[in-house]
Chains A and B, each alone.
Chain A
Amino acid sequence: MSASLDSGLPRPSQTTTLRQRLGELRGPGTAPRALDARALAALAANPGCRRRALLDGAGVDKAALASRLGSPAPFGQSQFAIMRGNSFEAKVKADGGRELLRLLGVEEPGAVSVPDLAAAGPQGRTARTALALREATAAGTWTLLDHPLVALEVAGSPVYLEPDAVVVSPDGRWTVVEIKSFPMIDGAADASKVGAAARQSAVYVLALERTAAVTEGATVAHSVLLVCPKDFSNVPTASVVDVRKQRSVTRRQLARLIRIEEIADALPEGTTFDVEGCSSAELTEAVESVPHAYAPECLAACELAFHCRARAREAGAVETLGRAVRGELGGLTTVDAVLAAARGEAGDPEDPAVAALRRARAMRQEALDRASAPSEEAGACR
């Protein structure tokens, strides 16, 4: 295990300075945003992006930022979906948690305690959650924690995470519960959605493990309970999802992240992403001062994707066409360079990538010419 994940929260002095610095970046009087499901998906989609890392680490409201940059995020949630999601979650957690335990396979749980986790501020809520987890583990009864708040250190700064629920069993085992409103039809749900839910849950498992490490008798289950509506009804059904793989992938990604301090230190003096207090031009400049690593996968996960895409296209980066494109292009990174090499205007013909491009272009041209020779319209574009 990497030191950054096992050493608990960083030492106070270090935390204070970094926290101060991140607070300045976020803008005065702005509360940090918790790392929500989308931010976690963005982390999984593009762990190497410094821009995303810094903005998420500082808890900047990326959606507001994207609007100010002139490329508003295309994400939104339909009120129909929210309504349905809420009513489904309420149904799952009904009856004092007994329904949920039944889904977990516990028919006779005895008394189920559902502690109140309300507290002021994210730090207060995390502390309250940790206390409740300790008490529940010591009590040896079934406990349901509804929307606990846990902290995880990502790239050297703590971020807050809110799982839908955590169940503590009498033997001290903590299980993450993820409630989703996509259906499980005939026992199978959409694989990409299950994958996203598993990655998300794996981060919760990692965060809980840190708390469990300092709690006597506690273990964190490496399988999570995914609760979905059954078929076309809103009757809940559940499936135990093994997230060991996602957990170790995420842990490795987190351990390899460039530390946010480093990214922050490389910024020009006085840089801030204060959405309230800065002009659009200032914000644009601030965002440009952190390098991005745009890939088309960002479009589904990051609020800034359209902004970064426009920049990447301006620069002619080949990644705008998909990450896989890079594979065969060797050292050529821009569209212009690739096309020039293919046409023989530039590039070293000894370079295998350049040679392959030239052959590819010649063959493509030959095929198109052949097709357009007998009938004019055959090779035309429309």
Chain B
Amino acid sequence: MSLISALARMEAVESGRAQPLATVRHRHVSARPLVLVPLTTAGEAGAPLGALVGTDAEAPRLLVVTQPRDRDLRFSFLADLAEEVLPYVDSFTDVVEAAERSEVDPETGKKVKVEVELCADAPQLIVPSRAGIEYVRLLGRSTRFRRTAEQDPETPFPAPPRVPLLGRWLTHYGDRALVPGSSLLLAATDLLNRHWATGQSSLEDQHLGALLAWIDPRDGESGPEGALRAEVGRDERGQLLCPPAGPATDPAFDNRLLAPAIERYDRARLALGAAEDGEAADAGLGELHRAEREVRRLVASQLKPTWDAVWRALGLLRELPVGARVEDRWTRDRWSFTGHRDRVVAGEPPQPRRDDVIAAASKLANRERAQGQLEAQEALDDPLVLAARRLAGEAFAAEVAEVAMAYTEKNRPRPLLTVRTEDRPHLAEKAKVFRSLDGKPQAAEFVRYEEDGSLVLRLLDRMGRSKEPAAGSVPEKGERISWTLFEHEQRVGPKLPEPEDTPWTHGGPPAPGSAGGTPRTDAVELPDAVTPEDVL
């Protein structure tokens, strides 16, 4: 934690209210996000219990698995989820704009610009917490290899038609969430924590209810009071006043309310199966419906508060003005969405269980680049983020005290600026510093310290082609400018080698004859083995 954010947390302790950590919004919030609040069954990997899903805060769709151990009920839950998620995704796939991408021409080996489609907007998925992001990934993994009856008539437990496709999209979103600064799949807690500091630790900040109590308290309640109530407050039946944001449920809820309700449902099903005449069957059916309604009511009671909290969080985020470079990162998300859309349309197989070495290397490189880019962009967008970098000596704000024109031997302008700063940047001789000029970085190098402690910088670029620098490209005396020691745009690292030049450290070149010359050996992944006693 940086000293500035630690200080913000302490100010929050003192005031009993969350304090701003950012002056602008650093993440894209879609005009029409899809909120998904999932619940899972304790002790079972990927056995969903229920979910609230939808794009309208007032009209969520409730999905419940009345008996989580029943494979058919689980499949119908996933089919219903697919019916909510996929139409939402599809509504973005057809609205496209023309864009250019540079590709290597296979014949000449030269880079050429090609016209491609770029989706004008992308679906955005919001879950309550980080565990929710993990769960999206888990659901994706558990469904993308399922086989439908159409794909494989022999499969013992065929999945409903659109479920494998749902799995592929959830996998893509889960994967994209690992890219720093991406906004395709976000957790409400992460969104809030990026923008506000509470008077508690970052561990406690993972509790959505407690977090909101600090940021957006109820009338007259202080942050710590509200947070404590959200964490441990229970009603007269021993149930949490603020149910956990999931996907795990509260054990007290499982044991006291849910387990008896599910048992009643099981009994009703048995009774209905054993009914011998029409009258008994009618009565049994009535009881089954009542039991089912009760389970649904219980699951909904755990989901609804979290659903409302997620929308409250989105509302809070929307009040912040958006950062200037957020749009740029969202465009990358749109590229990512468009790319996966194209892979689905092209009939490519689902994402492999494990990335091969080359895919893994390029994903890692991408994430590192995105991290660097995010850090730089946030600092440029937000003086409060920049303040932390200034404190760390990675940036400085300075007033121009003097401008002296100077030229290189070839008569290029290289003006010398004398600037005064209170900050303490870690500058080595000839260190490069950058400022933002009309959104583009302008570089300067550090020349020396003057006796009075001011710095001398030599401007290096963006002054036009003529001998006299272009208007506005050289700062004027008295101007206050923020300089950074880090670059504003991440340099693209060295390109990864071509598949046939893959070094032995990464498995070597692909074996001759493998599909498409790529080293992917896992092009066809088998579905998970299914045994009758499997829980899922």
A residues apposed to B, CB below 8 Å: 71-72, 74, 76-85, 181-183, 185-186, 229, 231-235, 296-297, 299-300, 306, 313, 316, 318, 320-322, 324-325, 328-329, 335-336, 338-339, 342, 356-357, 359-361, 363-364, 366-368, 370-372, 375, 377-382
Contact = CB atoms under 8 A, between A and B. Distances in A.
Contacts of B391: 356, 359-360, 363
Interface in B409-455: none
Contact of B7 (A182, A336, A357, A367): A357
Most buried by B among A181, A299, A300, A325: A325
Given A296-B203, A363-B390, A381-B18, A232 B531 contact: no
Nearest to A318: B10
Contact of B6 (A181, A232, A325, A363): A325
Contacts of A296: 200-204
B353 interface: yes
Interface SS majority for chain A: helix
B240 to A, nearest CB: 9
Contacts of B112: none
A185 B528 CA distance: 11
Given A232-B535, A324-B1, A382-B319, A80 B203 contact: no
Given A181-B43, A339-B14, A367 B216 contact: no
Contacts of A364: 4, 7-8, 384, 387
A290 to B, nearest CB: 23
Given A74-B231, A78-B249, A382-B319, A232 B528 contact: yes
Contact of B10 (A81, A338, A382): A338
Contacts of A81: 42-43, 251
B24 interface: yes
Given A186-B354, A296-B203, A381 B7 contact: no
B43 A232 contact: no
B386 interface: yes
30 contacts: A71-B232, A74-B232, A76-B252, A77-B251, A80-B43, A80-B44, A81-B43, A81-B251, A82-B43, A83-B43, A84-B535, A185-B138, A231-B528, A232-B535, A299-B204, A300-B203, A313-B224, A321-B10, A321-B13, A336-B14, A342-B7, A356-B391, A361-B7, A366-B387, A367-B23, A367-B382, A370-B23, A370-B383, A375-B321, A379-B23
B41 A80 contact: yes
Contacts of A306: 231-232
Contact of A328 (B6, B224, B320): B6
Given A297-B203, A359-B391, A378-B321, A232 B10 contact: no
B265 interface: no
A324 B3 CA distance: 10
Interface in B348-376: 353-354
B9 interface: yes
Interface string B174-209: 000000000000000000000010011111100000
B228 to A, nearest CB: 8
A78 B535 CA distance: 17
A321 B199 contact: yes
B259 interface: yes
Contacts of A382: 215-216, 316, 319
Top 3 A-B pairs ranked by shortest CB distance? A81-B43, A371-B23, A76-B251
Contacts of A363: 4, 387, 390-391
Contacts of B259: 79-80
Nearest to B232: A74
Contacts of B390: 363
Contact of B23 (A83, A232, A299, A378): A378
A233 B534 contact: yes
A382 B315 CA distance: 10
Nearest to B18: A381
B20 interface: yes
Most buried by B among A83, A322, A336: A322
A345 to B, nearest CB: 13
A84 B196 CA distance: 40
B536 interface: yes
A335 B201 CA distance: 13
B43 A85 contact: yes
Interface in B8-29: 8-11, 13-14, 17-20, 23-24
A87 B45 CA distance: 15
Given A233-B535, A359-B391, A325 B19 contact: no
A335 B15 CA distance: 12
Nearest to B21: A364
Contact of B11 (A80, A185, A231, A339): A339
A198 B201 CA distance: 26
A360 B387 CA distance: 8
Given A78-B42, A339-B10, A361-B7, 17 more contacts: A81-B42, A185-B138, A232-B536, A320-B13, A321-B9, A322-B203, A325-B1, A336-B14, A339-B11, A342-B7, A360-B3, A360-B4, A364-B8, A368-B384, A379-B23, A381-B20, A381-B196
A342 to B, nearest CB: 6
